Structure 1
Amino acid sequence: MALLPLTVPLGEREPAFSFMSRLANRNGLSAVTFGADFELPFSDVIQGDELACRRLAELGGVAPAALLEWTPVHLGEREHSFRRELFHAKSIKPVGIRGCPACLREDLVKDSSLWMPHLRADWLLRPLRICERHEVPLVALWAEPALTQRFDFTARLTEIRASLEQGHLDCEPREASAFEAYVLDRLHGRPSGGWFDAIDLQVVCTFAELLGRAAVRLETEGRGRVHPEDLWAVVQTGFELSAKGPDQVRAALTRLQTRLGTPRQGPKGVFGDLYGRFAHELPSSSYDIFREILRNHILTTWPVGPGDNVMGEPVLERRHHSVRTAAEEYGVDDRRLRKLLRAKGILAHASGDDEWEVFDAKAAKPILESLDRMVSAIELQQMMNISRGHFESLRADGRFPPAITATDAKPLWQATDARRFVNELLRGALTVDAKMHGWRTLQEACHQLRVRPSEIINLIEKGELRRIGRYSQATGYASILVDRKELESKLHFGDAPGLTLEVFAKSVGLKPRQATRLVATGHIRVTKAPNPKRKTVQSYIADSDLQDFHSTFAPLRGLSLETGWSWQKLLSPAFGLQQLRFSDGETEHENLFLWAILERHFLCRWPKRE
């Protein structure tokens, strides 16, 4: 393309879309119209398309390499490359544009033309909230959901020019935080020499923010909300608690957990989004370094056992007990147990935190088993956290036979029977922090559906109920959750021939839309039948359809339970499962595999099926 007669100079750290907006304004056009006239779509320049940016460089008379140097490049889906770093769209393409009023006024002092002020690309980054040059916070300039309108920088700046020049946008000055200085150094290729240099900058930013939010909860009495203007301080807190290395992170986690809650609240209840996002929302392997630190910390310092779930991986064997969990399991008074463990050298101190002080469960097992005592029916109910009505109903159906019976004395049970019964029902359960989306306790399910508790427990033990939850806000029997819709379908309420697609999808770890597509493409067999309420014909997953699905497919959730490995570990490059994911020809299903492929390249069922 030929050089335009009217051009503008490329600004310091200016991205291509800002340059195009200014060039268009210099020629009396909006960025979109300018792009249409030269067959150079503004949206392509916003996405950092190399060919589009090179053509723009020819029009504007600037070096293509200089134009691309500070331009975010869209790599696909929501990922962008910027300054040799990878960023999510939320971190590099904000709906609200921020900037430094002092920088923009300096541009106008040099030349008061409308097209002279330019955007600095580092203003786009969500973690940066400061102008290092002027030591003032970046301020909100405008917010616009439409991409081409939002990034037409000169057109939008014209609308607020009066406020800018009159100082109405100015804020109180402050120095850049150590974290902000670190991010700027990374963008300019200046390594710090610390352990964060080997980790993706986006990952460092995310972890520092989430750790900072967990720390701030101490000051906000458990509330995690942070005002956008205070975000820089939150991230700085997380940075200070983690910049020196993994040992510092582990020490910070230990301090936080003892002040934020108790183990019975679960990791999500104690650490909040720090745990929730790393466990469920950040599947990329680049986050594994922090995920493993958090996971190993919990397994090492928490009294987790069967029925618990850590980072998507069910805990199948207890490694550590606390005084509280051991006392509950063996039916012993906390104070008596602590004295005994101290005398046996298991605990170092005669006094301490019964919730958080942990000890080796295997080493203490002989001592604890020697304490197993006989308890009455009332004591057993209290230990199990079960109502008398449910306990007696289960006894009437053959559950809980007493260890000792005599005609002239009340029956007695072993104290460990309570924990063993609950642990078996919670094996592989999902941790549930908020009892929504159809979750019901056994007490609620029996009351609402008018069934006996043994009917539900039989379904759990047979594996027919696959969606089992452990409510983190309760203990024992009261913590067992079932999905009402799945339970209804298994009890054949309303003569429905099977599971609805939504319930089926949830029970095997698929998304409802994903299951619908697999049915539409003929990969999942269904049974057509009238809906008992609406009478319209719809698809159900009958028992035979479910058996056919499990003989053909291995969902990631089921594979995790079969192997005892977390889904993050299963999807790690070491196993190569990423390349084995099932594809229906158009869509690749990241959480679904064919058994035929797995048995050829990964693992076999027993007996093996061809």
Structure 2
Amino acid sequence: MAMRGHWMVPHLMLCLKHQMPLVTLWKESAALSRFDSAVHFSKLADDIVAGTLDAELREETDFEIWLDARLEDPQGGLPEQHWLDQFSLHAACNYCLMLGTSLLRHEMSAPSSVLPEDNWAVYQMGFEIARGGEAAIRDALMGLQMLPGSPQDGPRKIFPKMYDRLAYDSMDDPDYDVFRYILRSHMAATWPLGIGDELLGEPITARRLHSVRTAARATGIDQRRLRKILAAEGIVPEEGLPDAWEVFDAERADTVLRSATTLITAKDFAEAIGASRSQFDLLVAGGILAPHLSSSGDAAGTRTIWDPADGVRFLDSVFVGASPLRQAQHGWEHISKSAARLMVGPETLIEAIRDRRIVRIGNHADFDGYAALYVYHDEVCSVLSPEPSSNQTIELFSKSVGLAQPIRMRRLVMNGHTPATEMIHPKLKKKQFYITRDDADAFHQRFYTLRTMAQAHGKSWQSMTARLRAAGVEVFSPDGEDYGTLYERDRVDHVLSQVTEI
């Protein structure tokens, strides 16, 4: 009996010499026991010799042949070079799995239901496309968008596994930069993303593309009629992609859309912005929303006096910089519920959001429009409490600047890299650290988080971190401690200013 080091690579699921699927021999949580192979083999020897653990033979796939060749020669692959050979092996294999999982949408409605032991076929599906290079991948991404579904379903459903892995799980890993760029640029060119949406974890701050569907919602015009109007102006073809995917330049079509806008009823307006009638009434009572025409000025004597474009502008004003929420975890509340808890109208919170006094805004993935607008209630209380204070807890300040794990901010304070002020908690009557306005200013003068860096320079943090890596700028960690993705501000500004000049 023998074991090969190749077999320890999780992406390889077959012995190519014997065409025998690899099987898990044992599982052990304790590391010391897990690596005591002599003990485990002594228990398995009889089963191994008897063939009890043998699985049904199968032929190797092209992916497995390529992977085995890369393991034999890390600098190359097969004599026939593939596009994937330029990437680190682990990243290339993971991408094949991500892409293959997304491509399973052609075969089934729930790609995530595939058992791990069947992943060899998923790797092969992704490899068949990825080895063809960027053009083949882009064709495959477009093909996924032609399956049942629309942009309103979200990228996680259109690109299962791939989107989350590239947007979040590997966001700090440069080995995935090219794969991330392909998906990012594809979505930027083919998705009607507006304010409140996100592109690989980064909030959209301005709409660049409309689809016939999003434009119909913004104008209150029936989709079929609007398509004819746009086609007559040469903006979209009369017959082409489905309305949800037929995109066009929003700025170019602005004049046409404004002239075609149709006024709608209050009921339709509330539905268009994703608000219940009671929520809509509160927004009207608070002066946030107002009809385009007064009832007395409606010459036709109807109630179609609401401009859907006003609803779009309202939603844009409150979703700027919103973070995507997969679920409303502890502390997140819908804006109407947060306002009710403080016994104030929603207009109070909305004005604070527009003034950038409330900055932790969430866009709930399960809802649309106003129904998706969530706020972090502790921040709301801090901003709108009867005794206003600019002091924030370390946890609240950490999350407001984009450091998801407050323990890292606390570590930064405890190690003397940024100041905090010890004060008495008004309710608990115990000392605890707060970030005062002066403390916050000191932090911002010295450091950038991904969020604050993107806000300061007006560029995507993905592009900026790639430039920083190329210039040799690493995340802040002078004493080997983990402070998260944190950069020293002066080093970042120096590098980016040089790039700009060039």
When normalised by structure 1's length, the TM-score is 0.74
Q: Which has the larger radius of gyration?
A: 1
Partner of 1:254: 142
| Counterparts in 2 of 1:602 and 1:194: CA distance versus 1, 3 Å | closer
The residue type paired with residue 123 of structure 1 is W
Contact 1:528 1:540 in 2 (8 A): yes
Distance 1:590 1:566, change over 3 A: farther
| 194-203 or 488-497, which deviates more | 488-497
Please tell me whether the aligned partners of residues 380 and 415 of structure 1 are also in contact (alpha carbons under 8 angstroms): yes
- Per the alignment, do residues 531 and 222 of structure 1 end up closer, same or farther by CA in structure 2, a change over 3 Å counting? farther
**C-alpha distance in structure 1 between counterparts of 2:392 and 2:149, whole Å:** 38
Give the percent of matched residue pairs that are identical in Structure 1 and Structure 2.
35
Q: 1:435 to 1:256 in 2, by over 3 A?
A: farther
Contact 1:581–1:592 (8 Å) recurs in 2: yes
Matches within 5 A, 1:73-88: none
Structure 1 residues 270 and 451: alpha-carbon distance in aligned structure 2, compared to 1, 3 A threshold:
farther
Does 2:429 match 1:515? no
Residue 185 of structure 1 corresponds to 69
Contact 2:129 2:136 (8 Å CA) reproduced: yes
2:221 is the alignment partner of 1:221: no
Contact in 1 for aligned 2:208/2:251 (Cα 8 Å): yes
- Cα distance in 2 for partners of 1:584, 1:366 equals 54
The answer to whether the 8 A contact 2:286-2:346 is kept is no
Could you say if the C-alpha distance between residues 600 and 199 of structure 1 is closer, same or farther in structure 2, counting changes exceeding 3 Å? closer
Contact 1:338 1:350 in 2 (8 A): no
Q: Please name the residue that 1:462 is paired with.
A: 355
Q: Which residue of structure 2 aligns with residue 211 of structure 1?
A: 99
- In structure 1, the residue matched to 2:465 is 571
**1:555 counterpart residue number:** 449
Distance 1:359 1:287 in 2: 29
More displaced stretch, 493-502 vs 321-330: 493-502
TM-score w.r.t. structure 2 length?
A: 0.89
2:320 corresponds to 1:427 = yes
Note if contact 1:571-1:578 (Cα within 8 Å) is conserved in structure 2: no
Q: Say whether the 8 Å CA contact 1:327–1:337 is kept in structure 2.
A: yes
In the aligned structure 2, how far is the partner of 1:195 from the partner of 1:187? Answer: 17
Partner of 1:322: 211
Corresponding residue SS for 1:363: coil
User: Contact 1:334–1:354 at 8 Å: present in 2 too?
Assistant: yes
Task: Pick closer, same or farther for the CA change 1:167–1:406 going to 2, 3 Å.
Answer: closer
Q: What residue is the counterpart of 1:41 in the other structure? A: none
Change (3 A) 1:416 1:550: same
Contact 1:312 1:567 in 2 (8 A): no
Could you tell me how far apart the structure 1 residues matched to 2:155 and 2:15 are? 37
- Please list, as runs of the form range in 1=range in 2, the aligned pairs for 1:185-334 lying within 5 A after superposition: 185-189=69-73, 190-191=77-78, 192-217=80-105, 219-222=107-110, 224-259=112-147, 261-282=149-170, 283-334=172-223
Task: Name the CA shift for 1:141/1:442 in 2 (closer, same or farther; >3 Å).
Answer: same
Counterpart check, 1:390 vs 2:390: no
Q: Does 1:150 align with 2:39?
A: no
1:343 correspondence with 2:232: yes
The CA deviation at 1:265 is 2.6
| Per-residue CA distance 1:55-114 (angstroms, 9 max, x = gap) | xxxxxxxxxxxxxxxxxxxxxxxxxxxxxxxxxxxxxxxxxxxxxxxxx2xxxxxxxxxx
How far apart are the structure 2 equivalents of 1:585 and 1:541? Answer: 23
Q: Is there any run of 5+ residues in structure 1 with no aligned partner, and where?
A: 1-103, 105-117, 605-610
Quote the Cα distance in structure 1 between the aligned partners of 2:323 and 2:148: 22
Q: Which of 561, 573, 587 is equivalent to 2:481?
A: 587
Counterpart CA distance in 2 for 1:351 and 1:580 is: 47
Cα gap change, 1:235 to 1:346, in 2 (>3 Å): same
Once residues 167 and 206 of structure 1 are traced to their aligned partners in structure 2, the CA distance between those partners, rounded to angstroms, is 31
Flag the 1:391–1:527 CA change in 2: closer, same or farther, 3 A. farther
- Aligned: 1:364 with 2:265: no
The number of residue pairs the alignment matches comes to 488
Give the distance between the partners of 2:432 and 2:483, measured in 1 at CA.
24
Q: Distance in 1 between matches of 2:276 and 2:113?
A: 38
* Structure 1 residue 490, shift from structure 2 partner: 2.1
- Measured in 2, the distance between the counterparts of 1:258 and 1:483 equals 37
**C-alpha contact 1:521 1:584 (8 A) present in aligned 2:** no
Q: Classify the secondary structure of the residue corresponding to 2:363.
A: strand
Secondary structure of the residue aligned to 1:143 is coil
Partners of 1:532 and 1:279 in 2: CA distance: 40
Letter in 2 for 1:225: S
Match of 1:174 among 42, 58, 68: 58
- String of CA shifts for 1:139-185, please: whole Å, max 9, x gaps: 12122334454334344322211111111111111111111111011
* TM-fit CA distance, 1:279: 0.9
Q: Which residue of 1 aligns with 2:3?
A: 119
CA distance in 2, matches of 1:576, 1:141: 43
Change (3 A) 1:350 1:601: closer
- 1:566, CA displacement in angstroms? 2.6
Cα pair distance change 1:273/1:484, threshold 3 Å: farther
What RMSD in Å do the two structures reach over aligned CA positions? 2.7
Which range moves more in the overlay, 508-517 or 424-433? Answer: 424-433
Distance (Å, rounded) in 2 between the aligned partners of 1:411 and 1:262: 29
TM-aligned CA deviation for residue 224 of structure 1: 1.0
Equivalent-residue separation in structure 1 for 2:68 and 2:476 (angstroms):
42
Are the equivalent residues in 1 in contact too, given 2:468–2:492 (CA < 8 A)?
A: no
Instruction: Give the counterpart letter for 1:248 in structure 2.
Output: A
Consecutive unaligned residues of structure 2, counting only runs of 5 or more, are none
Number of the residue aligned with 1:135: 19
Give the match for residue 525 of structure 1: 419
Q: Can you list the C-alpha shifts for 1:476-533, whole angstroms capped at 9, x where unaligned?
A: 2222221122222222379887433222212211121111112212333334344455
Counterparts of 2:153 and 2:400, CA distance in 1: 24
Instruction: Tell me which amino acid in the other structure corresponds to 2:3.
Output: L
CA shift, 1:255, in A, is 1.9
Q: What pairs up with 1:429-444 in 2 under 5 angstroms?
A: 429-444=322-337
| 1:545 CA drift (Å) | 3.6
Alignment check: 8 A CA contact 2:111 2:160 kept? no
Q: 1:129 corresponds to which letter in structure 2? A: M
Distance 1:223 1:537, change over 3 A: farther
Secondary structure (helix, strand or coil) at the match of 1:139 reads coil
Question: Greater strand percent: which structure?
Answer: 1
Cα distance in 2 between the residues matched to 1:297 and 1:468: 27
Question: 2:28 corresponds to which letter in structure 1?
Answer: E
Deviations 1:321-354, CA, capped at 9 Å, x for gaps: 1111111112211111112222333222347522
2:309 maps to what in 1? 416
Change beyond 3 A, Cα 1:271–1:447: farther
* 1:492 aligned onto 2:385: yes
Cα distance in structure 2, aligned partners of 1:121 and 1:459: 59
1:509 is paired with a residue whose SS is coil
Cα displacement string for residues 257-304 of structure 1 (whole angstroms, at most 9, x for unaligned residues): 332632113222432321111111212212111110000111111111
**Alpha-carbon distance, 1:385 to partner:** 1.8
Tell me the secondary structure at the aligned position of residue 459 of structure 2: coil
2:339 to 441, 446, 457: 446
User: How far apart in 1 are the matches of 2:427 and 2:92?
Assistant: 52
1:472 has 2:345 as partner: no
Any conservation in 1 of the 2:423–2:433 contact (CA below 8 Å)?
yes
**Taking structure 1 as reference, are residues 539 and 231 closer, same or farther at Cα in structure 2, changes over 3 Å only?**
same
Alpha carbons of structure 1 residues 151 and 475: separation in structure 2 relative to 1, 3 Å = same
* SS of residue in 1 equivalent to 2:333: strand
Say whether the 8 Å CA contact 1:316–1:564 is kept in structure 2.
Answer: no
Relative to structure 1, is the Cα distance of residues 538 and 219 closer, same or farther in structure 2, using a 3 angstrom cutoff? farther
Quote the Cα distance in structure 1 between the aligned partners of 2:156 and 2:14.
32
Residue in structure 2 matched with residue 18 of structure 1 by the alignment: none
